[in-house]
Amino acid sequence: IPQAPTGYKSGFIGIIGRPNVGKSTLMNQLVGQKIAITSPVAQTTRNRLQGILTTPEAQLIFVDTPGIHKPHHQLGEVLVRNARIAIDAVDVILFVVDGTQPAGGGDRFIIDLLSRTENPVILGINKIDQQADSQLDRTYEDLAAPYQWQIVKFSALTGNGLDTLQQLLVTHLEPGPYYYPPDLVTDQPERFIMGELIREQILLLTREEVPHSVAVTIDRVEEDTTITRVLATIHVERDSQKGILIGKGGTMLKAIGSAAREQMQKLIAGKVYLELFVKVQPKWRQSRFRLSELGYRV
């Protein structure tokens, strides 16, 4: 890693918020590449993932966290605990809310968590591209008022307002080194993102009952001069879910595969041949061993 110029700033920014407010979309837009998968399904993000933005004046390292919510099973508890750790392990908190939705219990729960941190907090009101009712903003402003958090409004989808956000974040950073090489956009290996791109298509294409019990492993990546061959397994809990994933005559698996392959080609800027398998592993969500075996930090 090269040495940063004198006066250079750097630091970690925790992106916190309830599910579906647009945290992952925001991170992708800020770093300029799709490194975190997004979908309308809550709990799309399972791991802590870092997005790195290096500018001439600062290196901003964004930590995308799973949305904070009340846990229902062991995977849920792990997710919430990781989000709590993230709050204190960073330099600045970006608390993202959905400006198209009224503030809810989930937001109050997070505000309660954030009220105890020493770190500076910025309230980011997202989805201003879709906002019809400015009254909603006021409810968030009122919630933030007792803590005197700075407020920024933006659209993670269109990028509108993100320059202002970026400038404000830099003012909160201290002088520091490059934590990562300037050309790196994420701390995650390509293989992990490949698995996530498959999981994203499952979330987008299959029925409600499948997504939460799915995990994807990348079993093999073979790089040829002209094509990259990827072998991956989708792990589910029940035979019925396997049936849904494969679909009639294999149509669903084919659709998942071809959409994921397209995304992977963008990721690696090259041709990909993707082979997908589906495997039933009962109750993997309950098992810590399984979770870590599949690559989740528990």
User: Which residues fall in the annotated binding site for GTP?
Assistant: 17-24, 64-68, 126-129
Examine residue 44 and tell whether it contacts ligand GDP (CB under 6 A): yes
Among residues 10, 25, 201, 233, the one that binds ligand GDP under rule CB under 6 A: 25
Reported residue count of the chain is 298
Give CA–CA dist 228/250, Å, rounded.
23
Give the C-alpha separation, 294 to 288, whole Å. Answer: 10
Annotated binding site: 17-24, 64-68, 126-129
Return the number of the residue (96 or 173) whose C-beta is nearest Mg ion: 96
* Shortest distance, position 161 Cβ to ligand GDP, whole Å: 9
Note whether 45 binds Mg ion by CB under 5 A.
yes
What spatial distance separates the first Cα and last Cα of the chain, rounded to whole Å?
Answer: 29
Instruction: Tell me which of K ion, Mg ion, ligand GDP, none is bound by residue 99, counting a contact when its beta carbon lies within the kind-specific cut-off of 5 to 8 angstroms.
Output: none
* Binders in 82-141 for ligand GDP, by CB under 6 A: 126-127, 129-130
Per-residue DSSP letter, 119: S
- Indicate whether 28 belongs to the interface with Mg ion (CB under 5 A): no
Environment class of residue 35 by beta-carbon count within 10 Å: exposed (0-12), middle (13-18) or buried (19+)? buried
Scan residues 135-164 and list those touching ligand GDP (CB under 6 A): 155-157
The string over 100-113, giving b where at least 16 C-beta atoms fall within 10 Å of a residue's C-beta and e elsewhere, is bbebeebbeebbeb
The answer to the question of residue 20 lying near K ion (CB under 5 A) is: yes
CA distance 190 to 195: 9
Site for ligand GDP, rule CB under 6 A? 17, 19-25, 38-40, 44-45, 67, 126-127, 129-130, 155-157
Site for Mg ion, rule CB under 5 A? 23-24, 44-45
